[in-house]
């Protein structure tokens, strides 16, 4: 594949590095294929990055899943504020029982 300055395929070459003549329809198909592969790769890497960004110390606490983590963060604003909260304050958050509040304090 021969790329232009915008990293788009402009031609194909054979083993002898001679440009192959291909139809515009085939070139369009190759371009669509490359675009789809590129979009899939970007989406996958964004998902990995987003997953890594949303990890927190709360993920290590048994009984805290995504929903409870979001509720805690929405209520307190940060993990640091959650750490400073007492049991009664933690239990004010939807879905946080006394036992889960204690697990948060103990962590």
pLDDT of residue 12: 92
**pLDDT at residue 25 tops 70:** yes
pTM of the full predicted structure?
0.51
Percent share of the chain, pLDDT over 70? 97
**pLDDT at residue 8 tops 90:** no
Q: Work out the average pLDDT over 55-71.
A: 89
Percent share of the chain, pLDDT over 90? 70
For the chain, what is the mean pLDDT?
91
For residue 90, the tally of other CB atoms under 10 A from its CB is 21
Distance of CA 67 to the CA centre of its chain: 17
**pLDDT at residue 66 tops 90:** no
pLDDT of residue 52: 67
**pLDDT at residue 50 tops 80:** no
């Amino acid at each position: 594949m021969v790329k232009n300055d915008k990293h788009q395929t402009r031609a194909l070459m054979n083993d002898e590095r001679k440009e192959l003549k291909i139809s515009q329809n085939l070139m369009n198909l190759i371009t669509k294929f490359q675009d789809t592969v590129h979009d899939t790769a970007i989406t996958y890497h964004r998902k990995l990055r987003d997953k890594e960004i949303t990890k927190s110390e709360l993920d290590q606490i048994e009984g805290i899943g995504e929903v409870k983590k979001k509720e805690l963060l929405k209520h307190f604003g940060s993990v640091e504020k959650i750490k400073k909260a007492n049991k009664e304050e933690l239990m004010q958050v939807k879905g946080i029982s006394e036992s889960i509040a204690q697990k948060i304090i103990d962590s």
